Structure 1
Amino acid sequence: MKNLTVKIFAGLFAVAAVLLASCNKDDESYSFLLNERGAFVEEPGGKTSVGFTAVNIVSVTPTTVPQGWSVTVDMNERRIFVTAPTTFPEESAKADTEEKNENVRFGTVIMTGRSGGGASVSMSLYVSLAELIDLTDQPSNCYVLNKSNVRYCIDVTRKGEDTEATIAPASVAILWETPYKVVEYPKLIDGKAYFYHAVGTDDKKKEFFNHGNALLGAFDAAGNLLWSWHLWCAEFDPAGEQIELGGEVMMKRNLGAGVVSGTSEADILASYGVYYQWGRKDPFVGPRYYNMADAADAQIYDSQNLRVYPDYAATDAERGTLAYAGAHAMTFLTGTKESGYNWLQKADASLWGAVKNNNDPCPRGWKVPSREVFAKLSIKDAVTPELEKSYGFTLTDGTNEAFFPAGGRRSFLTGALTNMNDNEVRPTPWTGYYWSSTGEGKEAYAMDFSFDINGTRAGSSFQGAALQYAAGGMQVRCVKIR
């Protein structure tokens, strides 16, 4: 992960060097660089400021400003001052006025710096009227971000929900996120990480909630990853979307999923969520396509909005430890025959457990269920042509029921996403794997089911609790902590 961080900073400086520095006809060098790329205020009419550095720049001026915003520059202080509009269309519509209010809540300011020789260089500054949601009193490995155009704040001196395991990060950054720019502008202030969950917009500038996932990392001064947090962007309240199943209160959707279920390709894909190796707290991204074509991973991006890729490496004496896994959150550690196809060299069946610990990937107040929960379930559905389109099964405990998408898994040998059967006519991706918190020896228990393409319920398989190789990447369905 240290190498990844170095690449991030190297890429940033390279871009800065190319885009922000040049020479005029007298061979005088100049540069203009914003200290931050986002400026946020919490109330209408609110103010904030952003610093900048400038070399041989005689003036900095805003050349494009969103409607209603005010932007001024102090060259002596090297600061840009931003003021939000005081009113917006929905407020002004109530007033008795003929003047139409077109002020906007967020947009992009273009700042242009000019050198003494007449050359210019421009930078973009995103501005937004955004509520701040402070989650620093709710430490966790996973946070549900269910509001957009909101700036969040979490405590990054804490490991998971532990009150004693603390760290002192020097910086924070997005390790990966999907889709593009689902979380932006990470910033570290006094042990707190601030970041922005943006509003999604389509080609016609229509706004929508930006579903997705991100992994935020905290680094020491040398660029080593100290800890990381899953940011789950989904428009739902876990407390309001739950069901009693298998003797526990369970979420209706998979960990990291944007929707509960779906029949469209987009919704089927969004229902899968993210994938975990047993005992690890950090998620791995799902497929790019709903049918797992070419076993392609979803495209992921870093803090600089550059494409990044997960790593795949076989476990060995160096890599096969919990410490290595935590410091390399984007490395999928494949199993070997010698390790018993566990990502650890020395298996630890207590990494997840009956009591939630710092390795558990679920949000605060939730945990990975024990094997006993899944063992109480069975397939409710009879196989029909309509059921084939749902890409999953409804499971029941005899009283209540919930839908479970068949999102396949990541191979314990290669890390590749697998789900497709070999039928050329009807290649239905219909296998589901869900980790429990129960480990045993080098393996761990999981629930798995598969769809029988011959169309008989009796031919479909279901195992509520079967031992699986711990290096495999599977989905998680969280249950509420009692």
Structure 2
Amino acid sequence: ALGTANCYMASTGASYVFDASIKGNGLGDGNSEYIDKHGLLLDEGVAAELLWEAVFDADKTRSRDVIDGEPVYRNGRIWFTTGREQGNAVIALRDFSGEIVWSWHIWVTDREVTLTAANGYEWMDRNLGALNNTPGDVANRGLFYQWGRKDPFLPSSAPYTTGNVTEANVENHQVGDGTAEWAYTGVRQQLLTEAPGNIENAVRHPTQFLKTYYQYSGSSWYVTPTNDALKEADLWGGNKMSSGYKTIFDPCPLGYMVPPDGAFATAAGDMSTGVNVDAQWGPFEGNGRAWIGGTGDFFPFVGILTINTPLTNCGHIGVYWTASADASNGYGYEVYVTSDWGRYRQGATAYGNSVRCVKEK
């Protein structure tokens, strides 16, 4: 009733319906030229389908209880019912040929999100997709996102560790009663050099982590390297978001958006010198740090998805996307914090990082 988004928050044991006739929140998407080519309306959908559902502790039996039964599509709307377990799921809309034309993230949590103000923005008290923000609890991880994509990827399914950095890096392939298959490795972007690049490819394959076409060069899942289309792609809104601009690819729930670069302010210093991490972030404990220079909330170190590993450094580094990218090269801006240092830097958009949403202005 209040609008559309790519993510909807829901409680357990309830029934819902959302508008499946429009993509995302229905606004513009920067300069990707996607809307000009493919439009905003979803008038070719014929059937809804549960792609995946998952809980954070890799219990496949419990993951089947996040969504209860099959979603139903009718007259431009999708109906679904949640089960008894908190977790995450993605529901897709398919056309007559069986192709996915859009998909939505369902974030099932019974713990109400609270907000804390910092640097002129109101911040969620947890990562996008997380069930809590308790240090050391696997349910605090939330989900991973390639910069500019709307669909999430699952974090590690293993407990946090304080020793061997590889023990917690376990790929999560949960699907519950869904039909999808996860692809964290082996799928490369299509060799496209003009906008809208691989956006349609990403939309049709929401569980495929798109690696760069060239294995050892390139940084973007969107287009192949050295193309001007990459440099101008405000897929998450870029600095336009400072005035409340939210794109159709923004992964945050209704009323929230990915933070622009200024929202983190001095959290990680500048591009060259980094930051006094102990002053801004407090002690490293519970596999993360509290942002004492900002909201005071805990930021878990979930690790990252890379184009080669793919999952690495769970419990040892925290990397959080902003909505902004460098117009000169297309790299996304990120806040990168470890047990020893922190830095605001450019990150390859093909990597999967965490997201902490802020309230729309």
TM tier, smaller: 0.7 to 0.9
Q: Given the alignment of the two structures, is residue 142 of structure 1 paired with residue 7 of structure 2, yes or no?
A: yes
Q: Contact (CA 8 Å) 1:144, 1:363: kept in 2 or not? A: yes
Q: Separation in 1 of the partners of 2:281 and 2:357?
A: 23
Tell me the alpha carbon deviations over residues 283-315 of structure 1, each in whole angstroms, 9 at most, x when there is no partner: 11111113363732224225x456833353122
Q: Separation in 2 of the partners of 1:443 and 1:307?
A: 30
| 3-state SS, counterpart of residue 236 of structure 2 | coil
Which residue, out of 283, 295, 302, partners 1:407? Answer: 302
| 3-state SS, counterpart of residue 324 of structure 1 | helix
Q: Contact (CA 8 Å) 1:246, 1:376: kept in 2 or not? A: no
Deviation at 1:166, TM superposition (A): 1.3
Q: Separation in 2 of the partners of 1:305 and 1:332?
A: 18
What is the TM-score of this pair, normalised by structure 2?
0.79
Q: Contact (CA 8 Å) 1:276, 1:475: kept in 2 or not? A: yes
| 3-state SS, counterpart of residue 301 of structure 1 | coil
Deviation at 1:214, TM superposition (A): 0.5
Gaps of 5+ in 1: 1-135, 200-209, 421-428, 452-459
Q: Contact (CA 8 Å) 1:245, 1:396: kept in 2 or not? A: no
Please show how residues 199-218 of structure 1 align to structure 2 within 5 Å: 199=84, 210-218=85-93
| 3-state SS, counterpart of residue 297 of structure 2 | strand
What is the TM-score of this pair, normalised by structure 1?
0.60
Please show how residues 101-120 of structure 1 align to structure 2 within 5 Å: none
The runs of at least 4 aligned residues of structure 1 exceeding 6 Å deviation read none
Q: Contact (CA 8 Å) 2:261, 2:333: kept in 1 or not? A: yes
Please show how residues 97-176 of structure 1 align to structure 2 within 5 Å: 137-145=2-10, 147-162=11-26, 165-168=40-43, 169-176=45-52
Q: Given the alignment of the two structures, is residue 298 of structure 1 paired with residue 172 of structure 2, yes or no?
A: yes
Gaps of 5+ in 2: 28-38, 56-62, 161-165, 224-228, 269-276
Summarize the Cα distance change of 1:261–1:196 in structure 2 as closer, same or farther, 3 Å threshold: same
The number of residue pairs the alignment matches comes to: 306
Q: Contact (CA 8 Å) 1:274, 1:285: kept in 2 or not? A: yes
Aligned twin of 2:32: none
Which residue, out of 311, 330, 336, partners 1:442? Answer: 330
Deviation at 1:144, TM superposition (A): 0.6
Q: Given the alignment of the two structures, is residue 396 of structure 1 paired with residue 292 of structure 2, yes or no?
A: yes
Which residue, out of 270, 286, 298, partners 2:139? Answer: 270
Tell me the alpha carbon deviations over residues 398-417 of structure 1, each in whole angstroms, 9 at most, x when there is no partner: 6x422100001101x23611
Deviation at 1:373, TM superposition (A): 1.6
| 3-state SS, counterpart of residue 287 of structure 1 | coil
Q: Given the alignment of the two structures, is residue 366 of structure 1 paired with residue 256 of structure 2, yes or no?
A: yes
> What value does the CA root-mean-square deviation take over the aligned residues?
2.3
Q: Given the alignment of the two structures, is residue 479 of structure 1 paired with residue 326 of structure 2, yes or no?
A: no
Letter in 1 for 2:76: G
Larger radius of gyration: 1
| 3-state SS, counterpart of residue 68 of structure 2 | strand
Aligned twin of 1:118: none
Aligned twin of 2:341: 461
Deviation at 1:395, TM superposition (A): 1.1
Comparing both structures, which one devotes a greater share of its residues to strand?
A: 1
| 3-state SS, counterpart of residue 262 of structure 2 | helix
* Percent identity of equivalent pairs: 28
Deviation at 1:474, TM superposition (A): 0.2
Q: Contact (CA 8 Å) 1:377, 1:396: kept in 2 or not? A: no
Q: Highest relative contact order (Cα 8 Å, sep 6+), 1 or 2?
A: 2
User: Mean alpha-carbon deviation: is it higher for 223-232 or for 320-329?
Assistant: 320-329
Q: Contact (CA 8 Å) 1:434, 1:475: kept in 2 or not? A: yes
Aligned twin of 2:310: 416
